[in-house]
Structure 1
Amino acid sequence: MPTEALGETLDRPQAKSSIKIIDADTHLTEPHDMWIKRAPASIRDRVPQVKMLNGVRCWVIDGDKSIGTGAHPNSAVLKEGGKVRDLDQFLALQFEQVHAGSSNVKERLKVMDEAGIYAQIVYPNILGFGGQMAAKVDPALRLATVQIYNDAMAEIQEESGQRLFPMALLPWWDMKEAVKETERCIAMGMKGININSDPHTSRDENGDLIPDLGHEHWYPLWEVCNDKKLPINFHIGASETSIDWMGQQGWPSLPRDLRSGISGAMLFFNNGKTVANLIYSGVLDRYKDLKFVSVESGIGWVPFLMEALDYQLDEIAETKIFQKRPSEYFKSNFYACFWFEKKDVSDMLHKVGIDNCLFETDFPHPTSLYPIDNLEERLASLTQEDRAKVLSTNAARLYNIAI
């Protein structure tokens, strides 16, 4: 990025912040007609849509397979402002009750302008954070569902005037199609891909288990991303096995909302598993320029995990040789996103690495920062240059966003 662009980042005299803030994790409440209005007539009845199923309003795919019982909008921000902070009330919300900025581009831009946010990276809801819900149907419908989603996202990016940047979903169950779709999305101007973090727990169209992300099966995709400098994002809950809002982490004696709180917190640590496996896989010795983003996972766990990986390698796997120390791969190839962390956050940003941290809000999810304010005050002990990095220029470089 030219130095002039970085200078412009610090020059917004009429904005709430002097920095063109890039929010590295937000979500789209998918409009109910998003697939229907773009699908060819032959599959219009089968693509994701909202309809009554067994007397309940649901998101369905393939006519009768629920991928969202209750057709929940996945937004906690209310139509007239304010935010629901009670789990039962949140789960009862419908599309018509939540803020239009959850789904509408013009209204989203208004929310961003009010908060002083220049651009947002956008992730899905209905198909799963890693697109895992699309895998419930036959390969042809799976592929069409993902392609239509990406078409809609490219349109949103254009409509927003290059301020909203959705990450492309992939047909990760088919490597050839995944590479083709990645190249198609690059041609449409999209800035990154969104990957399933645990593909090895799913099967391909032949019924065979898909290899994990460290296997040579994935090399064709990594080659494209490495050559095109395309970031690879894995969001918390980006697989059938990693997502767990209610069940496995909290003890049965706890009420549902507290179990959900524990499960949500533990999801952050789950992303550490993906980071660790990618580092130990050795793939980064082969594709040195790959950039991975751990999305919506916080940053506080990173220094401990890196120290632990270094230690474990020395103590129980000293015969395994990599070109760098495990912790050095994080510095060269990984980013993590922070939002709610306030206590000593400036010190933690330095421990993780100023150049490896991105800021997010998670708008409009329940754990999102809303209202969004005092961003720079939270980072008051950082230099202006470092504040600009974590709030803007790191993301601008990574996603090739003009600022």
Structure 2
Amino acid sequence: MTQATPGSVAETTVVDTDVHITVDEERIAKYLDEPYRSSITDSPHPVFPSSSWDQRMGGKIDDHFSTFTDPEDIQQFQADFQIEYPIINTFEPLGKFSQPDLAVNLMRAYNDLLLDVFLDDYDFLGLAAIATQKPQEAAAEINRVADEDQIVGIYIGTSGEYPPVGDPSNDPIYKAAADNDLSVVFHGNGDEFMFDFPHHNKGFNNYFEVQTLGHAWQQMAAMSSLLGEGVPAKFPDLNFVFLEAGIGWVPYMMHRMNKIYRMRRSEVPLLEQSPEEYVRDQFYVASQPLGEPNNGDDMKRLIETLGADMLMFATDYPHWDFDHLEEMDKYLQHYFTPEERRKVLYETPVEAFGLNI
């Protein structure tokens, strides 16, 4: 790949594939049916489960960024960071809720809030939150919101999902997404490591160990489940997107699954080609959190392995550890052609989400 001619970000159309809104419990409760509204507002016990890890290092980490409570916050972000098209999501991973009916009601509530506050009167793009605890009701929710032009995908937090996302019981979700031309988005999390890997969570001594593994392990499990159950083969027109796990895990998974596929092909009869081919045909990966190799050439080789047809840019704003556009763009401008840079920042997300922009 040849080196790009330096260009201004201001001259480039940028799609940010992972922007979170901030929704506190009191606000979402207004969109819930009873008895779930009262269970959130009146219960003396936390309804939203969370781990006890000290993510803020005793106050050393300033988390004042983590508030996007109204559309004006996003508009200011667009102006400050030169992001023309933010794809926003409600962030909360619904798989962690033990009560299926609560999860389903939260799913509808988050989507109603997203449409009511952020999409109906603004030109943002959004992802519909999905709770997999009741796949048929999740499919009905997809059909309910699919006619909204600004909904460009469905959003599944890969935290606490049981059974795993590839399980055939979830096929109604994928069928509804495919029928409505909506991409399926999986989002990794750190705090919810406790639900997916409880033995490790209990044994680790600090959040460094958890945050290093949490997002990537969840996405690796999701990808393995999807391929192992033949989901992309069953739904060949469906696009799958992975957010907030970085990119380093993807080449490993493609090559590892290829090897296991050749040894155990009879266990995955639905796959008609290698796992890597499915990943390259139907899967897309967002950049954040971009790794920080000591040698920049290592990042160049990693991006080359993925290719600009799979890679998309994401900030993860407004989280305090977000990736600034300049972090990604320094590699794109230094190592890659203007055409490849344009793909990562604009054309590949347009393809992944079927955007009409």
State TM-score, norm by structure 2.
0.81
Residue pairs, 1:283-294, within 5 angstroms: 283-294=231-242
Q: Which residue of 1 aligns with 2:95?
A: 132
Q: Spell out, residue by residue over 1:102-148, the C-alpha distance to the aligned partner (whole angstroms, 9 max, x if none).
A: 222212211221111112223334xx3x2134x34462x44332212
Runs ≥4 residues deviating over 4 A = 42-45, 90-93, 316-321
Find the aligned partners of 1:160 and 1:346 in 2 and give their Cα distance.
41
Query: Gaps spanning 5+ residues in structure 1: where?
Result: 1-12, 50-61, 73-84, 202-210, 253-258
Residue pairs, 1:201-216, within 5 angstroms: 201=162, 211-216=163-168
Deviation at residue 101 of structure 1 after TM alignment: 5.5
Deviation at residue 376 of structure 1 after TM alignment: 2.7
Give the 3 Å change call, closer, same or farther, for CA 110–243 of structure 1 in structure 2. Answer: farther
Give the 3 Å change call, closer, same or farther, for CA 375–300 of structure 1 in structure 2. Answer: closer
Q: Aligned to 1:172, what secondary structure does the other structure show?
A: coil
Match 1:166 to one of 115, 126, 133: 126
Q: Which residue of 2 aligns with 1:335?
A: 284
Match 2:69 to one of 103, 128, 140: 103
State TM-score, norm by structure 1.
0.73
Query: Gaps spanning 5+ residues in structure 2: where?
Result: 1-6
What percentage of residue pairs aligned between the two structures are identical? 19
- Contact between 1:379 and 1:387, CA under 8 Å: does it hold in 2? yes
- Contact between 1:22 and 1:391, CA under 8 Å: does it hold in 2? yes
Q: Aligned AA for 1:276?
A: S
Residue pairs, 1:93-242, within 5 angstroms: 98-99=64-65, 102-125=68-91, 128=92, 130-133=93-96, 135-137=97-99, 139=101, 141-158=102-119, 161-163=122-124, 165-189=125-149, 190-197=151-158, 201=162, 211-237=163-189, 241-242=195-196
Q: Aligned to 1:308, what secondary structure does the other structure show?
A: helix
Q: Aligned to 1:34, what secondary structure does the other structure show?
A: helix
Q: Aligned to 1:278, what secondary structure does the other structure show?
A: helix
C-alpha RMSD over aligned residues:
3.2
Residue pairs, 1:223-262, within 5 angstroms: 223-237=175-189, 241-242=195-196, 247-248=201-202, 250=204, 252=205, 259-262=206-209
Q: Aligned to 2:84, what secondary structure does the other structure show?
A: strand
Deviation at residue 34 of structure 1 after TM alignment: 2.1
- Contact between 2:95 and 2:131, CA under 8 Å: does it hold in 1? no
Give the 3 Å change call, closer, same or farther, for CA 23–160 of structure 1 in structure 2. Answer: farther
Is 1:351 aligned with 2:305?
Answer: yes
Q: Which residue of 2 aligns with 1:29?
A: 22
Match 1:279 to one of 208, 223, 227: 227
Find the aligned partners of 1:169 and 1:283 in 2 and give their Cα distance.
20
Choose between structure 1 and 2 for higher RCO, CA contacts under 8 A separated by at least 6 residues. Answer: 2
- Contact between 2:153 and 2:353, CA under 8 Å: does it hold in 1? yes
- Contact between 1:192 and 1:232, CA under 8 Å: does it hold in 2? yes
Is 1:323 aligned with 2:293?
Answer: no
- Contact between 1:284 and 1:329, CA under 8 Å: does it hold in 2? yes
Q: Aligned AA for 2:315?
A: T
- Contact between 1:22 and 1:392, CA under 8 Å: does it hold in 2? yes
User: Who wins on radius of gyration, i.e. which is larger?
Assistant: 1
- Contact between 1:236 and 1:243, CA under 8 Å: does it hold in 2? no
Q: Which residue of 1 aligns with 2:43?
A: 63
Deviation at residue 228 of structure 1 after TM alignment: 2.1
Find the aligned partners of 1:278 and 1:116 in 2 and give their Cα distance.
35
Q: Spell out, residue by residue over 1:286-334, the C-alpha distance to the aligned partner (whole angstroms, 9 max, x if none).
A: 2111211111011112112211111122235467552111111100121
Query: When the two structures are aligned, how many residues end up with a matched partner?
Result: 336
- Contact between 1:172 and 1:196, CA under 8 Å: does it hold in 2? no
Q: Which residue of 1 aligns with 2:38?
A: 46
Q: Which residue of 1 aligns with 2:4?
A: none
Q: Which residue of 2 aligns with 1:365?
A: 319
Find the aligned partners of 1:160 and 1:16 in 2 and give their Cα distance.
27
